[in-house]
Amino acid sequence: MAVGATFPYCLCLGTGLSKISEMSPPVAVLGIDAAWTEKEPSGVALLTRQGERWRCLRVAPSYAAFSGTFSWEDPVCGGKADAHSLLATCSSLAGRDRLAIVAVDMPLATRPIQSRRVADNLVSMQFGARKCSVHSPNLERPGEVGVQLCEAFVKSGFPLAVDKERIMPALLEVYPHVALLKLMRATERLPYKVSKNGSYSGWYVRGWLRVILLTRLFRLEMTLGQFGFQLVYRPSIKNIG
């Protein structure tokens, strides 16, 4: 979905996975569920392919947690993306030369994003009816947060991919939820965010929502397992919401 792309690259999940799987030696992918502000935390995960299967080497609820030590019971804080620190952690876990892609779930571009892009509108046109339209980016959101993250990884040797022919290593903008729709054959957006549970009143309702969410997480694990992926952290009803 980067500026310059003729079609949202994030929709080409199968193509992307096949290209990565064909690479030799085995490669690693750093995934970032980036917050649009520094106040909110960003999820980070490092995956590596070993044979025909993918393994998650580390998953963390923030940049600082990924690069340091943490417990899932610890409070989660926001902060800036320190590309040097993130890449150093990847190097220690998987080897610097194995990292092929930094995939970021946030609008990225080679120039300032002032408003909705062609790619944003294409995704919304195709998936809006399934409640998967994208948020509208502007100069303030993600604004400097996105610019700084993009520039930091570009300077570290990961140019922003703006077409399907981008040679790896590369920085890639992604929109994972539309991929989940395809993989799980869902008719509409999957309500997966634990924080949304608090918006419903009544312990009975919240309890059932946790059961439903947990069921969807297990279904997600089974679906991704077909592609060689495994979840590292299995939540229970007790620690959801």
- Between residues 59 and 2, the one the model is more confident about: 59
pLDDT attached to residue 93: 92
The overall average pLDDT reported for the chain is 77
**Local confidence band at 214 (pLDDT 50, 70, 90 cut-offs):** low
Max CA-CA distance within the chain?
53
When pLDDT is averaged across residues 159-168 and rounded to a whole number, the result is: 81
When pLDDT is averaged across residues 120-142 and rounded to a whole number, the result is: 89
* Residue 38 clears pLDDT 80, i.e. is over it: yes
* Residue 180 clears pLDDT 70, i.e. is over it: yes
Q: Are 94 and 114 in contact (CB under 8 A)?
A: no
**Local confidence band at 14 (pLDDT 50, 70, 90 cut-offs):** very low
Would you give the DSSP letter of residue 114?
A: -
**Local confidence band at 3 (pLDDT 50, 70, 90 cut-offs):** very low
- Between residues 236 and 100, the one the model is more confident about: 100
Which one, of 196, 191, 171, lies nearest residue 181 by Cα?
191
For the ranges 5-9, 80-84, 191-195, the lowest mean pLDDT is seen at 5-9
pLDDT attached to residue 212: 55
* Residue 233 clears pLDDT 70, i.e. is over it: no
Amino acid at 118: V
pLDDT attached to residue 200: 42
Which one, of 42, 34, 105, lies nearest residue 77 by Cα?
42
> 4: which residues sit within 8 A by CB, 6+ positions away?
110, 162, 163
Dihedral sign computed on CA atoms, order 92, 149, 54, 43? positive
Two structure tokens written together for 187: 């008719």
Question: What pLDDT digit, counting tens, does each position of 39-73 carry?
Answer: 999 999 999 987 777 888 999 999 999 999 888 88
When pLDDT is averaged across residues 111-135 and rounded to a whole number, the result is: 89
* Residue 232 clears pLDDT 60, i.e. is over it: no
Q: Which residues pair with 171 in a beta bridge?
A: 102, 160
When pLDDT is averaged across residues 154-174 and rounded to a whole number, the result is: 87
Dihedral sign computed on CA atoms, order 142, 112, 9, 168? negative
Angstrom distances, CA of residue 13 to CA of 67, 79, 173: 27, 29, 12
How many whole angstroms separate alpha carbon 86 and alpha carbon 79?
13
pLDDT attached to residue 226: 64
* Residue 26 clears pLDDT 80, i.e. is over it: no
pLDDT attached to residue 230: 57
**Local confidence band at 225 (pLDDT 50, 70, 90 cut-offs):** low
Q: Are 153 and 83 in contact (CB under 8 A)?
A: yes
Dihedral sign computed on CA atoms, order 189, 108, 13, 226? negative
Amino acid at 80: K
pLDDT attached to residue 167: 76
Q: Which residues pair with 142 in a beta bridge?
A: 138
